[in-house]
Amino acid sequence: MIPTEYYIYLSTALFAVGVVGVLTRRNILIILMSIELILNAVNINLMAFSQYFKSVDGQVFAIFVITDAAAEAAVGLGLIIALFRNKETVNADEIDLLKW
């Protein structure tokens, strides 16, 4: 039996790596992967506390988070492809479509 603290440590490390990736990277694909890391860290926490409290509520909520992450990935990749075709770059600093 693995203690709940280990899950929390792993989740904290994944969340920190994801936040650093979102804040420091300029490539949109890497930013999306960092957001996926953050969502996976949340799922690990949900599963750990679901096991700790002997409840399935966290597991059900984790399934919704996974579904949301899949939809976010599909829409995000579609937007990235459209932006690349329009601007020929995936660098977040060089995309200024909303500027006049």
To which residue do tokens 């060089």 refer?
94
Domain coordinates of the chain in residue numbers?
4-92
CATH node for 4-92: 1.10.287.3510
pLDDT band, very low/low/confident/very high, at 100 (cuts 50, 70, 90): low
Q: What is the mean pLDDT of residues 43-52?
A: 96
How far are the Cα atoms of 2, 29, 36, 64, 89 from residue 71, in angstroms, in the given order? 32, 15, 11, 11, 23
Extract the tokens encoding 75. Answer: 């829409």
Q: What's the pLDDT tens digit per position in 67-93?
A: 999 999 999 999 999 989 988 889 988
Cα separation, 63 vs 13, whole angstroms: 22
Q: What is the mean pLDDT of residues 11-31?
A: 96
Cβ atoms within 10 A of the Cβ of 35, count?
18
Extract the tokens encoding 2. Answer: 């693995």
Q: What's the pLDDT tens digit per position in 55-74?
A: 999 999 999 999 999 999 99
